[in-house]
Amino acid sequence: MSTKSYFDKLEKQFGTLTFGGLLRAWREGEELSQTAFAKKVGISVQNLNDLEKGRRIPSPTRASRIAKKLGLPEMGMIELALRDSLNKEGFHYDVKLKSA
């Protein structure tokens, strides 16, 4: 499934996604505690908590690492992180990346 259809399908069904909201939904779907999930993706529990609540937004590099560890589309996760960052600054743009 392409990145576009994967995330577009989720947004059509559940509404606008955020990086943190997707992480939380993934964690809860796997029935993992924040401690177990943080260990799985290689971050601290506090950092996971901040990501899930939108207090922190990952860099594209960190979004990529998390995507790879979860087996999620890297480009889509980077798009979510960039969109969240722009939204936090008051810029309400849709972000779509394409390979060079």
Q: What is the pLDDT of residues 27-68, one digit of tens each?
A: 999 999 999 999 999 999 999 999 999 999 999 999 999 999
Domain spans of the chain, in order of start? 3-87
Evaluate whether 62 touches 80 at the Cβ level (below 8 Å): no
CATH homologous superfamily for 3-87? lambda repressor-like DNA-binding domains (1.10.260.40)
d(CA 23, CA 90): 22
- The pLDDT confidence band at residue 99, using thresholds 50, 70 and 90, is confident
Residues 43 and 14 sit within 8 Å (Cβ to Cβ): no
Cα–Cα distance for residue pair 6/37, rounded to 1 Å:
22
Percentage of the chain beyond pLDDT 70 is: 95
Please report the beta strands in the chain, taking only residues with DSSP state E, as ranges in sequence order.
Answer: none
d(CA 62, CA 2): 21
